[in-house]
Structures are given as C-alpha cells and as structure tokens.
Chains A and B, each alone.
Chain A
Amino acid sequence: MDFTPLWDWFRWLHGATGIKLTIFYDSFDRWRFFNGFLTSVRLQAICLVLSVAVGVVGAWLQGARARPLRWAVQGYIQIFRNTPPLVQLYFFYFALGYYLSVEGEAGLRTALIGNFTWAVICLSLYAGAFNVEIFRAGIEAVPKETVEAAEALGYSRLRAYVFIVLPLAFRISLPALNNNLVNLVKTTTISYAIAVPEMLYVANQIWSDEVNVPEMMNVLLVIYVSLVGVVVYAMNKWERALRVPGYVS
C-alpha cells in the first residue's frame, strides 16, 4: 500500500496550521516512532503474560503446606506492593545490574542483562505481586465443597488446582485482573527511566529534535488511551467467552 498521499496531507497540515506531526511525513521520525510503538507493545505483551503466570504460580504456592514457602510469597507480595515501582526498577537495573555485569577490555563493564529484559523482569514481578492477591481472592471464593468433591474423586492438590479451582477462580478474578493489567500497560512507561527505547522515550527524542512538544504529548496520550482501550475490550470479550452459564460466584 502506498501511504504517500496521507504523509503529504500531514505535511500540508503542518504548512497550513502549524501542527507539526513529523512522525507522519518525516521518514526517519516515522521509522523511530513506529519502532518505539512496537517496543512498547512487545514490552506490554510479554509483561502481561509473565505477570499472569507469576500470579497463578504465586497463588498456588500460597496454598502450600510448607509455612516458609507461604511466608516467602507473602513477603514478596508485600515488598513489591508497598514500594515504588520506579525505585524497584532502579534497584534492579543499577544496583543488581552492576553485579550482573562483566568487566571487558578498557575497564568498560558490559551488562549481562539488557535494560529491556530488566524492565520485563521488574514490571512482571511488580504486576505479578498484585495478581497473586487477585487470584488468591478468586480461589477463596471457590466453594469448599467443590474442592472437597474433587478430593473425593481422587484429585491430587495440584491437579485439583489446575483442573477445578483455577478455572473457576480465574473467572471470578477476571474483573480485578482486568484492572491490574490496564495498570500494567500504563506502568510500562516507567521503563523510560532506564532508557528502554519505548514510545515515551522515542517521543522525548522526537520532541527534543523537532520542538513539537504539544503535538507529541497529545499523540502519546491518544495512543495510550487506545492501547488501554484495546486491552479492556479484549478482556471484556474474554470475560464473556469464559462465562459459565448459570454459575454465579
């Protein structure tokens, strides 16, 4: 497809009204903004999946018999929930990242884990801490009789969790999960602070070069609101698709 007329229209818009959207008609800005957008979406997608995985595993561990294990999960939740995500990110990237780096030639240190990966780790753990609590609430809402019935049918604890409790708990947790995942999508912007080239970072570069702060800010807001809209829409669809007819928690 040839977009040239569209790009030309934005060039004309700049001439006619002064609205300077270089991300459309300047090929270099377009290229880097698009890459920033892709990086953001990739970061968000990976973190969404990982944080849900952390939540599922954490909720399972919280029901474990071993008390130290339960305490460890509880400690993880409380520490990640009650401290600023930005400080966590700095702690991981600058403090832990320093020890996970090797000294190369000329005394320069090369990090073993890149900033994108650190952002993924930190954000997944941060959102995961909230997800554990959300799933735990869902698990508590599953009637005890259902679990007992599964036990009577010879399910082990793990199998009852995977096949009986989790599918029900998941449905109960979806509205709260929805909320938290929207928050996660918004929180990915903090990876700006460790120079992950995501949308906000790239937009900052562009408005520094082109001096079009208001335009870029509005573009960012519109894109983020639509990204969140997509997540909410998808989650609502999913919620409806997963609904068990007649099951009211």
Chain B
Amino acid sequence: MRRGVPNRAELPVLLPFRLAAPAERPPAFAPSLSWGLALAAVFALSVGAAEAQSGAGQPAILATIWKWAPLLAQGFALNIAISFLAMAIGTALGAPLGLCQISLLPPVRAGSWFVTQFFRNSPWLVLLFYCMLLLPFEVSVAGHIVPIPGWLKSTIGLSLPVMANVSELVRGAVRSIPYGQWEAADALAFSRRQILWMIILPQCVKRMTPPWMNLYAILTVATPLTSVVGVSEAMTLTRDALASEARSELLVPMYSLLLVAFFVYCYPISRATAALEKRFAVK
C-alpha cells in the first residue's frame, strides 16, 4: 500500500524523519503527463480512422479540422472569458455572503444561509435557464438602452452557484480556524472586526485557495452548458461546424478535439490544486 509517513504512532520513539518537500512529486508527474498524451493519441487515432472512412475526393480530415480551428479557438476563448468573469462575480458576491453566514445577527445569518443553500442545491443548468429567460434582454440606464447579450446573462447564471459555493468556502474556512485564535485575540483586546480582518481571514485565504481553484476548474468544465441556452461558445461552434460539414466520420475527431482542449486547460489547474493542498496540509 502506498501511504504517507506513518506518523499516527503516539510513542515518541523514532518518529520518522521527513524532508520539507514530499519526495513523490516528480514520479507523480510522469504518468500524469502521459494521460494528456493518451487523450491526444485518442484524437490522432480517431483522425486516422476517420481518414480511412472518408470517401475518395473529400478533403482530408486534418485539413478540415484545421479550417475550423480558428473559429473553435474563438469559441474556446469565450468559454475562458465566461469562466473568468463568472468566477470574479461569484467571488465578489460570495465572500460577503459567507461573512454574513457567520454574522452575530440571527436574521442575517439565517437569510444568507438560506440563499447559500438554495443556490448550492439547484442545478446549474436550471439556474442558467432561469437567468437566460427571466433577465431582460436590455435595460435602460439614464435614458440609454443598453442591450444585455446572451453570454453575459449566462455568465450571471453561472456566477450564482459559484457565489453560493464561495460563501460555503468562506464559512467553512472561518470555522476551521481553531477557536483559541479568537479567544487569544479577544484577550489582547482586538475588536470583533479587527479579529476577523487581521487574524482570522488572513489565515483563511491560505486554506481557501485550493478549494477555490477546484471550484474554478468545476466552473470551467460547466461553461459548455451555456451552449444549451444558445451562447456561441466552443461547444455550439463545434456542433455548427459538424452540421455544415455533414460528414459523420468527423464526429469523433471534432468532439475529442474539444475534450483535449478542455483537458489541456483544466488538468494543470487540478495538478496545481493538488500540489497546493499537499503543501498546505496540516498533519
């Protein structure tokens, strides 16, 4: 069994010596890199198989994919932009909401708890539909009519569950700080606001970073959901490209290309999250 250092022993004899950096990190990376290669191999294989299937006189599969690549890259850029924006909005709204959850006022606490649970427990797709169909398509600001594009509405839809998750992260992180910290600060005559801002939250930031990054990865893989409500992101454009080519042998290569694109973007994030978690782990 591959296990960590057995420091569960209570006896103070021969406690295992441990270097600062975990030694297993380099070998862990070698097989992980090969997963990306494996996915790329699936893509290459599917291209080869599709090439064999395509009839004579048709343009080559790779050439066809290359033709659509710039458009698909644009779509993917929109995915990334949506994920950045939704994460920013969600964090900006979720952090205060999480602080409200530890408020001393019962109504504030109950209200923010309810909002958090409601948005955390509703499906992302339903929230997307909610924002897409119920937000106005234009608003008038000081006499000017400002249109709200679909991608912006769906970004707001995605930021709602992010907000709820960030709120839970903040609450959980504050809870995870030992209570002695509060009491010690109290004894040093810090006010509640000072304790929160100067002692508790700085410690929370470190604890919250890995799960926050994890949430970002989850959000990124959720962005193709916006294609269901009609945003022209990578998924929609892939389907459009497939529809206009009308060649069944293109299905597997195109969809696997999309999978590869998301994998290449998300996998490093999940590696970094795991590495940070390991580094911040308190044994």
Contacts and interface: CB of A to CB of B under 8 A. Distances in A.
Given A87-B259, A90-B235, A221-B130, A82 B217 contact: yes
A217 B130 contact: yes
Contacts of B267: 78, 82
A163 B154 CA distance: 48
Contact of A200 (B38, B126, B220, B248): B126
A87 B134 contact: no
A217 B224 contact: no
Nearest to A227: B121
B19 to A, nearest CB: 20
Interface stretch (A1-9, A20-28, A92-100, A117-125): A92-100
A49 interface: no
A175 interface: no
Given A94-B255, A214-B134, A186 B121 contact: yes
A182 interface: yes
A140 B267 CA distance: 23
**Which of A96, A190, A204: most chain B Cβ within 10 A?**
A190
Given A87-B235, A144-B1, A81 B270 contact: yes
Size class of the contact patch on chain A = 35 or more
B3 interface: yes
Interface in B57-84: none
Contacts of A86: 224-225, 227-228, 235
B182 interface: no
A95 B252 contact: yes
A174 interface: no
Given A71-B31, A82-B217, A144-B6, A221 B126 contact: yes
Nearest to B234: A87
Interface string A143-166: 110010000000000000000000
A224 interface: yes
A12 interface: no
Given A88-B259, A186-B121, A225-B122, A83 B134 contact: no
A189 B123 contact: yes
Given A94-B251, A147-B1, A213-B134, A186 B123 contact: yes
A146 to B, nearest CB: 11
Given A90-B235, A94-B251, A217-B133, A83 B221 contact: yes
A144 B3 contact: yes
B130 to A, nearest CB: 5
B3 A79 contact: no
Contacts of B32: 74, 78
Interface string A181-215: 01000111110110000001000100100000110
A140 B3 contact: yes
Given A74-B31, A94-B255, A144-B6, A82 B129 contact: no
A114 interface: no
Interface string B1-38: 10110101000000000000000000000011011001
Interface of A: 63, 71, 74-75, 78-79, 81-88, 90-91, 94-96, 98-99, 140, 143-144, 147, 182, 186-190, 192-193, 200, 204, 207, 213-214, 217, 220-221, 224-225, 228-229
Given A140-B4, A192-B125, A217-B134, 16 more contacts: A71-B31, A75-B38, A79-B35, A84-B220, A84-B224, A94-B251, A95-B256, A204-B129, A213-B133, A221-B122, A221-B127, A221-B130, A224-B121, A225-B117, A225-B122, A229-B121
8 contacts: A83-B266, A84-B225, A91-B259, A95-B255, A182-B121, A192-B125, A193-B228, A217-B130
